[in-house]
């Protein structure tokens, strides 16, 4: 059977009862994580402006925009909500840089609103299957080579999620994914330059996912061999380096979505290891900024290209800081933690931070490739000449070094505490309870009032 058809049958034929409990638990963590980042991200740069732009466009009042509570067409609501979910870069991710949850959760909520409701089991199933399709079509660092994995791949996850929520038949689900393939794109240059396009790309993945499902439901077709064809996904984006059949091996038995990263700190996944390393050294050695002569961080070349460049603030200081090891290390050392507040403009431009950044060098070291995607060696040389070293192979939150339940709770608390206007403890508890018991929900739209202003 062709790879494309196998994936389509998997989406259309899998039910909630077919999902292992650990997969359902992971999906609930995705929902809680993204709900938190949507709540916290409402006031981030560009979010209100994009909400007002799409509100001005008008159209059917199908789904809620959580920034301002208005209702607009579902695909546009999903766009704005996804931008908001990604804005603080505290959502889940997957190596080498794909962000799934920030697209699939807003997509599922908007689609559910559009059709007049969806029970919790079907909602969780759609999210699980969309995530799994995205995870299985995720490529390698070498294949992406500067393409943004979110823009290239997450659109499949969003499209699969929307198709499942809509209960499209197999022929239309295939066309949904095939049309989504033609929207793949996006560059990591957005991240390096510190532009708001990083979060806009996330929104496009969601918007296109719903639109493609709607087009397919109205008879619009896409290329049948969108993965395996001579000009298909595995040729154009995977550069013929990956076997297409790998996307369907042990499908339904082993779940690639279990390789998701849940972030301990609110910055790019490739900054998490260095943040954790400097915090660990500071705690163990009672290290303070005044004792620092210099810090060297050795990282693999792929990481260096994305987060190793010299830190400077541009038009979007939060994005500049999120994608800078120099900033993240300096911030953690100066403030003893890494919180959402620390990426606000006033914190980013603190002169003490800039002075400390000048003492931090980031070095590209190809030998570290052998140790993994997030490997690093961090060395602190103190003013007294002492050398303090920390090696990291797997950064916190990545597969092999999962977050604790307390870490997940702290993540949500940081998001709720950062929200403006603030959320009450009672409302936060209600959100947690609703997500914990999602499979019992008769209609997931009951979540909507909890997330709106």
Q: What is the pLDDT of residue 99?
A: 98
> 3.40.50.10190, 3.20.20.70, 3.30.360.10, 1.10.4100.10: which CATH number matches 3-262+412-451?
1.10.4100.10
Q: What is the pLDDT of residue 30?
A: 98
pLDDT per residue as tens digits for the range 243-275: 999 999 999 999 999 999 999 999 999 999 999
pLDDT of 1 higher than 80: no
pLDDT per residue as tens digits for the range 118-152: 999 999 999 999 999 999 999 999 999 999 999 99
Tokens 């008769």: give the residue: 442
**DSSP per position, 268-325:** -GGGHHHHHHHHHHHHHHT--GGGEEEEEEEE-HHHHHHH-SPP---S-HHHHHHT-H
Taking the model in full, what pTM does it have? Answer: 0.96
Over residues 203-228, the mean pLDDT reads 98
Over residues 385-392, the mean pLDDT reads 97
Q: Could you give the CA distance from residue 264 to residue 235 in angstroms, rounded to a whole number? A: 35
pLDDT of 453 higher than 70: no
Where in the chain is CATH 3.30.1330.120?
269-392
- 402 CB burial (10 A radius; 0-12, 13-18, 19+): middle
Q: Could you give the CA distance from residue 34 to residue 153 in angstroms, rounded to a whole number? A: 18
Q: Could you give the CA distance from residue 227 to residue 242 in angstroms, rounded to a whole number? A: 11
Q: What is the pLDDT of residue 452?
A: 76
User: pLDDT class for 423, splitting at 50, 70, 90?
Assistant: confident
CB 331 within 8 A of CB 357: no
- 346 CB burial (10 A radius; 0-12, 13-18, 19+): exposed
Where in the chain is CATH 1.10.4100.10?
3-262+412-451
- Which two structure tokens, joined as six digits, stand for 449? 């009032």
pLDDT per residue as tens digits for the range 26-81: 999 999 999 999 999 999 999 999 999 999 999 999 999 999 999 999 999 999 99
Q: Which CATH architecture has domain 269-392?
A: 2-Layer Sandwich (3.30)
Q: Is the dihedral of CA 197, 203, 205, 207 positive or negative?
A: negative
């Amino acid at each position: 059977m062709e790879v494309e058809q196998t994936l389509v049958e998997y989406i259309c034929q899998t039910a909630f009862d077919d999902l292992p409990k650990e997969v359902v638990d992971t999906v609930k963590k995705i929902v809680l994580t993204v709900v938190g980042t949507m709540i916290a991200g409402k006031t981030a740069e560009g979010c209100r402006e994009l909400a007002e732009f799409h509100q001005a466009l008008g159209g059917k009042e199908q789904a809620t925009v959580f920034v301002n509570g208005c209702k607009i067409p579902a695909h546009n609501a999903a766009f704005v909500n996804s931008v908001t979910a990604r804005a603080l870069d505290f959502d889940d991710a997957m190596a080498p840089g794909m962000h799934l949850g920030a697209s699939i959760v807003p997509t599922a909520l908007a689609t559910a609103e559009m059709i007049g409701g969806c029970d919790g089991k079907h909602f969780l199933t759609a999210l699980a299957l969309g995530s799994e399709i995205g995870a299985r079509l995720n490529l390698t660092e070498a294949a992406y080579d500067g393409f943004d994995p979110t823009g290239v791949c997450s659109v499949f996850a969003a499209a699969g999620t929307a198709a499942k929520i809509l209960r499209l038949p197999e022929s239309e689900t295939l066309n949904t994914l095939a049309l989504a393939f033609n929207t793949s794109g996006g560059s990591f240059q957005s991240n390096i330059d510190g532009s708001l396009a990083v979060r806009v790309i996330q929104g496009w993945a969601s918007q296109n996912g719903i639109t493609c499902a709607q087009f397919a439901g109205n008879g619009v077709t896409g290329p049948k061999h969108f993965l395996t064809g001579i000009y298909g996904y595995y040729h154009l984006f995977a550069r013929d380096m990956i076997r297409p059949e790998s996307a369907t091996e042990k499908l339904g038995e082993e779940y690639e979505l279990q390789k998701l990263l849940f972030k301990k700190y609110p910055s790019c996944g490739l900054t998490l290891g260095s943040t954790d390393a400097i915090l660990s050294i500071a705690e163990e050695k009672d290290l303070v900024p005044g004792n620092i002569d210099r810090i060297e961080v050795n990282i693999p070349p792929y990481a260096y290209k994305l987060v190793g460049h010299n830190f400077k603030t541009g038009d979007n200081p939060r994005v500049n800081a999120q994608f800078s090891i120099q900033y993240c290390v300096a911030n953690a050392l100066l403030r003893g933690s890494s919180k959402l507040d620390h990426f606000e403009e006033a914190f980013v431009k603190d002169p003490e931070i800039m002075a400390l950044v000048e003492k931090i060098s980031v070095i590209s070291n190809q030998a570290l490739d052998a140790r993994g995607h997030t490997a690093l060696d961090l060395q602190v040389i103190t003013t007294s000449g002492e050398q303090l070293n920390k090696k990291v192979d797997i950064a916190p939150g990545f597969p092999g070094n999962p977050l604790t339940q307390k870490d997940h709770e702290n993540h949500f608390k940081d998001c709720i505490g950062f929200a403006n206007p603030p959320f009450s403890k009672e409302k936060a508890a209600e959100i947690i309870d609703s997500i914990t018991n999602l499979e019992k929900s008769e209609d997931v739209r009951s979540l909507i009032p909890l997330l709106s202003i």
